[in-house]
Structure 1
Amino acid sequence: MDNNKAPPPPPPPELDIDNLRATKVLGKGATGTVFLVPDNSRGGQPFALKVVEKSSAHSKHHADRRARHEISVLSRFSAAAEPHPFLPHLIGSAENQEFICWAIPFCPGGDLNVLRHRQNDRVFSPAVIRFYLAEIICAVEHLHGQGIVYRDLKPENILVQQSGHVTLTDFDLSRDLVPRKSGIFYSDTDEEKSSKQYPQAKGSKITRFVIPKRGNNKKGVKKAKSARVSPVSRRNPNELISANERSNSFVGTEEYVSPEVIRGDGHEFAVDWWALGVLCFEMLYGATPFKGKNRKDTYRKILFAEPEFIGKPSALTDLIGKLLEKDPTRRLGYHGGASEIKEHEFFRGLNWDLLTEVLRPPFLPLRDEEEAAEGEIGIREYFQKLKLPPPSPLRSPSLDDCSNGLSLTEF
């Protein structure tokens, strides 16, 4: 027994939701609302508070369960002896009869999607892509090493810290998968599936790959209003996934969903490397590679179309092509994990150990860019106001409302 082992860090503090005062709403998603909250106890450094309202959680695909899962994942990051530089830590959390909420550090630089649109041509240079991809790969590598498949890698979930370095966010769609004992990160109990012939497109039959059914619901999945695909489990959600087994949930963001997720073959860590390829393509060209006229067309392209590159082939386009391999067992990163991707020609000469030492990342958020306050409001008060009925419209007066027998035309 090692008596010199450091004791585990204390759990994150419990937040007092009744006394939290937000200065701005940073965003609203399908599962919750994110507020900017000042924290005077930490020298005035603000934090981002995500709040899930329980009254509507069950109508939003069990958002309460997903919220607790995200808190659990963030707690694991915070419990590490050395927090990862490109992953958030949990500042605190709270739960009562009305809300589930948790706080992480605020990133004043916004997300990569916002940052890309600020560029003159709305794309990043290969050098900038190289820097951001390297940090993202390190973050995903750490997740996979912890047995976590991210499943929601996209520009909106990559935030820019005050230092200019990135951090991943939103782990409610992540899933725990047990790594192989061999040390390779990927779990696959059905090796035979990897060598089967993938189905070919035959007219309308493509719908069986892109419209997962829920039980006996003949209408399939209701089309989501946002780009994010609602998680639709192909198994009992209470059934635990066993060691070395794939996940069968249909989750992700439609333009970033991997072919194996659409096919329903079961998926594991390689879905994150597919999403990395889509992300890289979007950073380079300003659009995702398989976007169609509608969701069905997008899924058809993901399954059968090849990415179209502009200009001369380069190390970057070669990297993208290898990440966008439709057969996950042939995808770059499947067998060797992040180490395999780090060895690609595009990253030649990069000193991975010194990424955190870069003092001048491509873009630094200005101090005065921190979100302007919109006036303080209590968290509970904010949701109570949302439930108030809209003000009654002004009623036009009738002739009977006019005094002294005057008609409207006499005014």
Structure 2
Amino acid sequence: MDSHKIPPPELDIENLRATKILGKGATGTVFLVHDKSRDHPFALKVVEKSSVHHHADRRARHEISVLRRLSAAAPHPFLPHLIGSSENEEFICWAIPYCPGGDLNVLRYRQNDRVFSPAVIRFYLAEIICALEHLHGQGIVYRDLKPENILVQQSGHVTLTDFDLSRELVPRKSGNPNFYSDPEEEKPVKHPPRNRKITRFVIPRRGNHNHAFLNKKGLKKAKSARVSPVSRRNNPNDFSTNERSNSFVGTEEYVAPEVIRGDGHEFAVDWWALGVLCYEMMYGATPFKGKNRKETYRKILLAEPGFIGKPNALTDLIGKLLEKDPTRRLGYCRGASEIKEHEFFGS
């Protein structure tokens, strides 16, 4: 059976108990949830269907579809799997493994000088590259690589999260074989089965009183987005709701030049974002941040990243990942294999 047609396991809402809000984004809230039938807690993302975020349920369905596809294949150590999902008229929710180590941004802020050593950078980059390689092998371009989306598992290894901006690409029938098209342009949106029991899901409070956090009045609001000292989340209205392979999506400081130019893009945007991530891990700041969005985009298009001290293997890797022409960017021709062969990973 095609992995796209495999329905996700349906969550048994009656057995779930939410104990903590892990974070809140523009369209959804993430809860730490315990299941009576499971030994370990998991993260439950809940998206409210509303006219304010009319694209939220579409993104939610897409993320569930990506997680379902990843779960149908052999499990990957640096990518999440779908534990289950459920839906009613007001909410869509799905469960993935809980990562108690926070995200990479939080972890960096705990370091001396708020930067990572080259050895630590090598460790995390290697795992992230393997995760992206697996996604690309599945025909999925991630499009949202940033520290806040890289979570740390109990084991200390990383896992990527938030796939609502990702897209499935397929090789074009003609033209440059390195470029891909978006099959979503031709495929209708598929809706998962509905579950009316979700409104009975409750979160315990101190004492003997409980209250539903999913009710007719909507989600209980959280104060912050993801648990991180710095939030780069943009207003969702800044981006087109018609996300294609030539659409403008991503996080401001991590957006690739070809996305800003509107040239169309594919897997190479993830390797650009990897270069920005690597630079931020090394220096504690992104390489092209300006005083405002316009200046940031101008720097992305025209400026070169600034390095301190003598050139070394790490700065060489960053420079090759931050090549503004995607066809000359490290990883464009042979994907992750090119990056793995760089001297930084052999030193």
TM-score by length of structure 2 reads: 0.80
Aligned partner (choices 23, 30, 47) of residue 42 of structure 2: 47
Aligned residue number for residue 285 of structure 2: 287
Is 2:105–2:148's contact at 8 Å kept on the other side of the alignment?
yes
Distance 1:61 1:303 in 2: 32
Aligned residue number for residue 33 of structure 1: 29
- Does residue 266 in structure 1 map to residue 268 in structure 2? no
Aligned residue number for residue 227 of structure 1: 233
Distance 1:99 1:253 in 2: 26
Distance 2:95 2:324 in 1: 37
- Does residue 73 in structure 1 map to residue 69 in structure 2? no
Q: Which amino acid aligns with 2:122?
A: R
Aligned residue number for residue 165 of structure 2: 173
- Does residue 148 in structure 1 map to residue 155 in structure 2? no
What pairs with 1:213-252 in structure 2 (closer than 5 Å)? Answer: 227-228=233-234, 230=236, 232-233=239-240, 247-252=245-250
Is 2:121–2:282's contact at 8 Å kept on the other side of the alignment?
yes
Q: 1:283, CA displacement in angstroms? A: 0.2
Q: What SS is found at the alignment partner of 1:51? A: strand
Q: Which amino acid aligns with 1:67?
A: A
Aligned partner (choices 57, 61, 64) of residue 64 of structure 1: 57
Distance 1:99 1:188 in 2: 33
Q: What SS is found at the alignment partner of 2:170? A: coil
What pairs with 1:134-145 in structure 2 (closer than 5 Å)? Answer: 134-145=126-137
Alignment deviations for residues 294-313 of structure 1 (CA, whole Å, 9 cap, x no partner): 11111111111110001110
Is 1:179–1:186's contact at 8 Å kept on the other side of the alignment?
yes
Distance 2:318 2:251 in 1: 18
Q: 1:122, CA displacement in angstroms? A: 0.5
Aligned partner (choices 283, 305, 308) of residue 303 of structure 2: 305
Aligned residue number for residue 132 of structure 1: 124
TM-score by length of structure 1 reads: 0.68
Is 2:171–2:180's contact at 8 Å kept on the other side of the alignment?
no
Aligned partner (choices 77, 86, 89) of residue 94 of structure 1: 86
Distance 1:51 1:120 in 2: 35
Aligned partner (choices 2, 10, 23) of residue 14 of structure 1: 10
Distance 1:264 1:278 in 2: 20
Q: What SS is found at the alignment partner of 1:326? A: coil
Distance 2:48 2:78 in 1: 28
Q: What SS is found at the alignment partner of 1:319? A: helix
Q: 1:16, CA displacement in angstroms? A: 3.3
Aligned residue number for residue 371 of structure 1: none
Q: What SS is found at the alignment partner of 1:38? A: strand
Q: What SS is found at the alignment partner of 1:103? A: strand
Is 1:9–1:79's contact at 8 Å kept on the other side of the alignment?
no
Q: 1:59, CA displacement in angstroms? A: 2.2
Q: What SS is found at the alignment partner of 1:23? A: strand
Distance 1:314 1:275 in 2: 20
Alignment deviations for residues 32-90 of structure 1 (CA, whole Å, 9 cap, x no partner): 000000123122x00000000112xx42250100000000000011111x201110000
Is 2:15–2:37's contact at 8 Å kept on the other side of the alignment?
no
Q: 1:9, CA displacement in angstroms? A: 12
Alignment deviations for residues 300-347 of structure 1 (CA, whole Å, 9 cap, x no partner): 111111100011100000000000001111100001100011110101
Aligned residue number for residue 345 of structure 1: 343
Name stretches of at least 5 consecutive residues in structure 2 with no aligned partner: 182-230
Q: What SS is found at the alignment partner of 1:90? A: coil
Q: Which amino acid aligns with 1:66?
A: R
Could you say what the CA RMSD is over the residues aligned between the two structures, in angstroms?
2.5
Aligned residue number for residue 161 of structure 1: 153
Greater Cα offset, 15-24 or 33-42: 15-24
Q: What SS is found at the alignment partner of 2:250? A: strand
Q: 1:18 to 1:99 in 2, by over 3 A?
A: farther
Task: Tell me the number of residue pairs that the alignment of Structure 1 and Structure 2 aligns.
Answer: 295
Is 1:270–1:328's contact at 8 Å kept on the other side of the alignment?
yes
Is 1:250–1:264's contact at 8 Å kept on the other side of the alignment?
yes
Distance 1:188 1:85 in 2: 27
Distance 1:94 1:185 in 2: 38
